Structure 1
């Protein structure tokens, strides 16, 4: 039987309970054997503000997933000096595990952009897409409608989309919210794991709020 490997990407600046809740839902509902956390280096779509240094984001992520036996961190994108595309990243991963069944874990906002992705044909065809409602007010029906509309748009390009809607409460935590809470000296226990909160305090991260 093919190993089921999930991919969860992001800047993780910082990683928070919303990410972990999403990862747990994907693991349980898709029966994943492995989960690769894929932190980005300096993606162009985040150029509106500086990211915390890669070493700090990596350290926080390591602390957040410690103890999860199926989770590992993949540093392919962060170690690249060039702009990285998901299709290229997946191609490298696929060479390492050629017989795996791949699952990308995304919110509905990301899913809606699939038709713009570089080399989307091979990536969309070869992976399953685990879709999470992205906004607090988004109902499962609305999330499902977005997935269907995305599927129809890709079908018009003769690209089949295999997707599964995750049964979960929409994620109500954002990294921006965490950074703002740090800046305003608010408690973090409802936003990030204790080990992440301790790391933020120790290294005095996010003392200047940049959005």
Structure 2
């Protein structure tokens, strides 16, 4: 009997409120760079940041992720976590999936800002040693916006080019060149990763990490929630099936704390 071939699997977790092209772009970059066989999307049942709360139930967020990832065979939706908040800890999620998928080499896909908090995570030492970390670059500071036409709400995102596995978008946002933005994001992300690695090294823990070659998109779930009604172009930031789901179920209709129409504040992904 031949032994089972070890597969490369990664976990990509988040509240996905809602899922958008930025999340998908990160996932495709991870597929290509690490040669992954599968990415397991895990939707957080409980939102831990009180400033990011919304009224959208877990079941809706889970359904939107299912629709968004359906076209890609390498994407898989993780099983719903139990109601117990403790089950949402990363170490519990990771160990549960490792038991479910034996004979796997494991990765964790994460944004640079979240990665910077890794030393403070529950049972961080066990988690760090069990995964290799694929870090999505942090978006650079947003440039000065001089007119309403230059707000992020005027940016239109188009579906993935299936050959390039990356969304196309049009935007007048900012004046810096793409290379300049890429370099700033890369430098900042490298600094974050090195600081986290040093923090674990002082505890005799070896951290394996690599930065994903992605261009951070200036889009965020926070803006989608707040401006779904008043900025129609923003709806192109999510795949069409997700657009239809949001409209059908009347989600994001009454934002609690809307930003002004010409706001230049772009929250992190």
Give me the whole-angstrom Cα distance separating, in 1, the residues matched to 2:234 and 2:218.
14
| RMSD (CA atoms) | 1.6
Structure 1 residue 186 displacement after superposition: 2.0
Q: Which residues of 2 match residues 22-171 of structure 1 at below 5 A?
A: 22-46=26-50, 49-77=53-81, 79-83=82-86, 84-137=88-141, 138-171=184-217
Deviations 1:89-130 (A, max 9, x none): 111111122321111111110111011011111110110000
Structure 1 residue 131 displacement after superposition: 0.5
User: What is residue 188 of structure 1 aligned with on the other side?
Assistant: 234
Give me the whole-angstrom Cα distance separating, in 1, the residues matched to 2:45 and 2:237.
23
User: What is residue 170 of structure 2 aligned with on the other side?
Assistant: none
Structure 1 residue 76 displacement after superposition: 4.1
TM-score by length of 2: 0.74
Extract unaligned runs of 5+ from structure 1.
none
Aligned residue for 2:31, secondary structure, equals: helix
Aligned residue for 1:38, secondary structure, equals: strand
Give me the whole-angstrom Cα distance separating, in 2, the residues matched to 1:204 and 1:22.
28
Q: Which has the larger radius of gyration?
A: 2
Give me the whole-angstrom Cα distance separating, in 2, the residues matched to 1:203 and 1:43.
21
Query: Is the deviation greater in 41-50 or in 90-99?
Result: 41-50
Q: 1:180 to 1:111 in 2, by over 3 A?
A: same
1:209 equivalenced with 2:255 (yes/no): yes
Query: Is the deviation greater in 47-56 or in 160-169?
Result: 47-56
Query: Is the deviation greater in 20-29 or in 138-147?
Result: 138-147
Aligned residues: 210
Extract unaligned runs of 5+ from structure 2.
142-183, 258-269
Q: 8 Å contact 2:135–2:209 — kept in the other structure? A: yes
1:19 equivalenced with 2:23 (yes/no): yes
TM-score by length of 1: 0.93
Deviations 1:33-75 (A, max 9, x none): 0110000101333465234112211111111111110111113
Q: 8 Å contact 1:103–1:130 — kept in the other structure? A: yes
Q: 8 Å contact 1:182–1:188 — kept in the other structure? A: yes
Q: 8 Å contact 1:105–1:131 — kept in the other structure? A: yes
